[in-house]
Structure 1
Amino acid sequence: MSSDPQLAARTAALELLDAALSRRAGLDEALAGPAMSRLPPRDRAFARAVAMAALRRLGPIDKALSAKLNRPPPPAVLNILRLGAAQAFWLDVPEFAAVATSVELAASRKGTRAFKGLVNAVLRGLLRDGPPADDPAALAPPWLYARWRAAYGEAGAQAVATLIAQEPATDLTLKSSEEAEGIAETLDAQVLPGGSLRTSRRGDLAEWPGYAEGAWWVQDASAAIPARLLAAQPGETALDLCAAPGGKTLQLAAAGAQVTAVDRSAPRLKRLSANLARTGLSAETVVADAATWGEGRTFDAVLLDAPCTATGTFRRHPDVLWAARPGEVASLAAVQASLLAAAAERVKPGGRLVYCVCSLEPEEGEAQIERFLAARPDFSLAPASPGEGGAPEASLKPDGTLRILPHHLPGGCDGFYVARMVRQAALPVSGGAR
């Protein structure tokens, strides 16, 4: 580890970007890795900010770089150039410092040392041209933008992609809605439809008022809608499948339901349990694959937030756009169909089932429910009403399901598909003599 704080922070940023672009969930792993943990808080925040700025504008940066490069350099060199451009154009770093520290970063590594002259020349060329424009069609990977255009039209695709470059505020879900006004004032937050709070406050969450007391948890405004649509009642049994990281479990428990949370990841369930303890809420946690969980219990209300490409979460996780691959849509759709079939068997006759994904891809949302309802005549849609659960009215589809696009809420939100269904009540057994 370098003794130069500036170089150490930029080395960590390079590791973050390398990890984000090499594998799904790589950024989260690197954020918790040794390169970041060894940095003081201020440098750690800077390293994250540089990597995130590069990811949010990766498309425009690469378009500008391609005009300056005769052929692609090694990946590590390309990432150094990306980080240098992000610092120079979108962070509060003087242009000369962005170039000089990028050259120093290249010189500090064996595999990139021979390219320090290239780094210097290319970045200086970019600075002469000025910052690249935030062309919506360039902000997303071309294959994803083409999918969004096909699904939502050119105007819809542009509105979605424009938000990629914008850093989001923080949304909170309250344990008790009665405290909304007081907590909102304390955190300088806006109360959103449905009761979520939105704040531009920055810094360590654990230091924010109400955190230690368990008054709230971080949860995107869109992510809070599915549990509200499930409308669990005090004393009802509720099942949260694929439950981690647990925001929806906390919502169901706060509503007074007897909650069982199932997830295949023990470490992620451990985090869920820690949040239950912090908020003073209770739920049964089960480490199991939701598709093959062996217990035969059925529940009044079942929520399935299925694994997906997560393309709707790009505001907070821009890396998902660049880690996703076209083939994943079909493979994950098969997983979702299996989980949805398993979730249906957990619903009591007369009970409710909510299916949701934080994906913008129709194969993972609308197509799943169409296929499911065709195969399961004992289930039918229970349409959402306009504005129910805090859902933007623009998100309500004619069939009563929700297609929440990131631009449907002023200031942005995660993209989600949500469908609420009911299972036909068991028919009474006819009696009498024959």
Structure 2
Amino acid sequence: MTDAARGRPRHRPNAGNNKPSRPDAAPSAPGLAARMAAARLLAATIDAKTPLDGLTDHEHGHPQFRALDMRDRGLVRAILATALRHRVTIGKLISHRLEKPLPANATALSHILHVAAAQILFLDIPDSAAVDLAVTHAKSDPRTVRFSGLVNGVLRAIVRAKDAELPAVLAETADAPDWFVERLNAAYGADEAKKILTAHRLESPVDFTVKSDPRKWAGAFGGIVLPTGTVRLEKLSGPVSDLPGFAEGEWWVQDAAAALPARLFGDIKGKRVADLCAAPGGKTAQLVLSGAKVTAVEASKNRLVRLAANLDRLGLEAEKVNADLLAYKPDELFDAVLLDAPCSSTGTVRRHPDVLWTKSLADIAKLAAVQRKLLDGAVELVKLGGAIVFSNCSLDPEEGESLAKAFLVDHKGKIELDPIRRDEVPDISAFITSEGYLRTTPAGLDLGNPALSGLDGFFAARFRRVA
């Protein structure tokens, strides 16, 4: 198969039981194994709500993925990200070619069609290769063999119509579940919601927090320095570990928005600071570099091991504690506490397009309740007069503004809001709300180039213990 058939992103500015029937069979057609793996992993994401990062992990991912060579693994990742990022658009273009909807139990067929259509519409793969491999895939599976003619007809019709139809469908479609679109509209208004959804269709840039001299590292990477000091690359051309400065621990990958909460403490040099739910350690590293004496608390042993490895590479030291936050009893209370809480991650859809298809409205409510318990527990770890910064990467107010307001009401007399002032963070003043919260969205940080603009959706609030 040619390099083009293996797949590279095509630049378009507008642009039941799903186990394989023969998991041990070795597909003979070049490229078929990658397409079969993509359909299998798409099924795991959509039907079983399995996060994509785990499925495509090079060491512990799905067996069909790990059986591929590195180039085909990259192709599978590209197909899945594209199929998820444009799932509603692809679904509409498929349905327009069907006389009647696919049977409810024909999920395997649906995934084959979505994998192929993603290649035809958005990836630099010959249309004939995408169609022929999808037909071969359908014929190889007893569940879909009788639909191979339908697969051929639908996909060839999409090939013929894509240039005329795709721009219009993109313009009228929100590539997200209805519940998410409704929540965005309610929280941000229709215009801002549309900007966020448009940003979600773009591949995310790559951000780095550097120990020092951002301009030097931007030059070394061929990137830019953001107003916040983060170094940004539009995309990587190889593994992160191949970039200069990796082995020396001069930087770490961290979205520009994720780097903001740790800055909200002000001068913490020499102070005892706890980073709660600390893995993978980016914020811990920031706090250490700020001169704080940091205790990193993490409930997961495996994640704490990862945090320790990251700090070792960076040459930074922090006390590491494996403990459930709600049961953690330090010998001495802290001067400040950072709680970057587990959340729905709806602010990271641009870099993790599976989030909208693995999470639900019920998950948001459940995670907000967990966050509230953790925040209540964090209060008990900080000294009188100490600061608490609460943050997460959700776009939903139930996990952000609404949670913070309810927290203040329930702890009245003990906790006060310490509003973030725009003059104390002038480079990010546009992200400070009138109430003194930090709120970023993927539609923010317009740099003129959509591929370089934007940042994760983040919320942060700063509180102070007064009793």
TM-score by length of 2: 0.86
- 2:21 maps to none
What is the CA-CA distance between 1:287 and the residue it aligns to? 2.2
- 2:142 maps to 110
What is the CA-CA distance between 1:160 and the residue it aligns to? 0.6
**Which residue among 37, 42, 55 is the counterpart of 2:84?**
55
Tell me if structure 2 keeps the 8 A contact 1:137–1:161.
no
- 1:72 maps to 102
Aligned-partner Cα distance in 1 for 2:299–2:156 = 49
Tell me if structure 2 keeps the 8 A contact 1:15–1:30.
no
CA-atom RMSD, angstroms?
A: 1.8
1:89 aligns with 2:121: yes
Q: Match of 2:174, SS?
A: helix
Aligned-partner Cα distance in 2 for 1:393–1:48 = 36
**Which residue among 48, 51, 54 is the counterpart of 1:29?**
54
- 1:278 maps to 313
Residues 339 and 76 of structure 1, relative CA distance in 2, 3 Å threshold: same
**Which residue among 232, 236, 253 is the counterpart of 1:198?**
232
Aligned-partner Cα distance in 2 for 1:285–1:36 = 34
Tell me if structure 2 keeps the 8 A contact 1:60–1:135.
no
Aligned-partner Cα distance in 1 for 2:423–2:191 = 23
Aligned-partner Cα distance in 2 for 1:137–1:22 = 22
Residues 166 and 390 of structure 1, relative CA distance in 2, 3 Å threshold: farther
Letter in 2 for 1:212: A
Residues 104 and 393 of structure 1, relative CA distance in 2, 3 Å threshold: farther
What is the CA-CA distance between 1:114 and the residue it aligns to? 2.7
- 2:20 maps to none
- 1:99 maps to 131
**Which residue among 196, 203, 213 is the counterpart of 1:160?**
196
- 2:22 maps to none
Tell me if structure 1 keeps the 8 A contact 2:51–2:355.
no
Aligned-partner Cα distance in 2 for 1:390–1:269 = 34
What is the CA-CA distance between 1:72 and the residue it aligns to? 2.3
Q: Match of 1:414, SS?
A: coil
Cα deviation 1:264-297 (Å, max 9, x = unaligned): 2221221111101100011222222222324454
- 1:397 maps to 433
Tell me if structure 2 keeps the 8 A contact 1:222–1:391.
no
- Percent of counterpart pairs with the same letter? 45
Aligned-partner Cα distance in 2 for 1:8–1:140 = 29
Aligned-partner Cα distance in 2 for 1:82–1:9 = 14
Aligned-partner Cα distance in 2 for 1:23–1:288 = 30
Matches within 5 A, 1:164-183: 164-174=200-210, 176-177=211-212, 179-183=213-217
Residues 388 and 199 of structure 1, relative CA distance in 2, 3 Å threshold: farther
Aligned-partner Cα distance in 2 for 1:355–1:111 = 49
Q: Match of 2:217, SS?
A: helix
What is the CA-CA distance between 1:39 and the residue it aligns to? 1.9
Matches within 5 A, 1:216-295: 216-231=251-266, 233-295=268-330
What is the CA-CA distance between 1:301 and the residue it aligns to? 1.4
Residues 389 and 105 of structure 1, relative CA distance in 2, 3 Å threshold: farther
- 2:33 maps to 8
Tell me if structure 2 keeps the 8 A contact 1:195–1:390.
no
- 1:149 maps to 185
Q: Match of 1:240, SS?
A: strand
1:185 aligns with 2:210: no
Tell me if structure 1 keeps the 8 A contact 2:200–2:442.
no
Q: Match of 2:327, SS?
A: coil
Tell me if structure 1 keeps the 8 A contact 2:138–2:147.
yes
Residues 64 and 273 of structure 1, relative CA distance in 2, 3 Å threshold: same
Tell me if structure 1 keeps the 8 A contact 2:417–2:464.
yes
What is the CA-CA distance between 1:333 and the residue it aligns to? 1.4
Residues 42 and 389 of structure 1, relative CA distance in 2, 3 Å threshold: farther
Aligned-partner Cα distance in 1 for 2:218–2:144 = 49
Q: Match of 2:307, SS?
A: helix
Aligned-partner Cα distance in 2 for 1:296–1:76 = 55
Tell me if structure 2 keeps the 8 A contact 1:381–1:421.
yes
- 2:14 maps to none
Letter in 2 for 1:104: T
Residues 306 and 162 of structure 1, relative CA distance in 2, 3 Å threshold: same
Tell me if structure 2 keeps the 8 A contact 1:20–1:27.
yes
Tell me if structure 2 keeps the 8 A contact 1:225–1:390.
no
Residues 363 and 160 of structure 1, relative CA distance in 2, 3 Å threshold: same
**Which residue among 422, 425, 432 is the counterpart of 2:464?**
422
Residues 193 and 91 of structure 1, relative CA distance in 2, 3 Å threshold: same
Letter in 2 for 1:228: R
Tell me if structure 2 keeps the 8 A contact 1:304–1:356.
yes
- 2:351 maps to 316
Q: What is the count of residue pairs matched by the alignment?
A: 423
What is the CA-CA distance between 1:150 and the residue it aligns to? 0.9
Gaps of 5+ in 2: 1-25, 447-452
Tell me if structure 2 keeps the 8 A contact 1:225–1:389.
no
Aligned-partner Cα distance in 1 for 2:230–2:119 = 33
Q: Match of 1:408, SS?
A: coil
Aligned-partner Cα distance in 2 for 1:183–1:390 = 23
What is the CA-CA distance between 1:138 and the residue it aligns to? 2.0
What is the CA-CA distance between 1:390 and the residue it aligns to? 7.3
Cα deviation 1:272-331 (Å, max 9, x = unaligned): 111011000112222222223244542111111111111110011010011111111221
Tell me if structure 2 keeps the 8 A contact 1:137–1:145.
no
Letter in 2 for 1:370: K
Residues 392 and 257 of structure 1, relative CA distance in 2, 3 Å threshold: closer
Letter in 2 for 1:268: R
Tell me if structure 1 keeps the 8 A contact 2:89–2:173.
no
- 1:362 maps to 397
Aligned-partner Cα distance in 2 for 1:317–1:351 = 35
What is the CA-CA distance between 1:358 and the residue it aligns to? 0.6
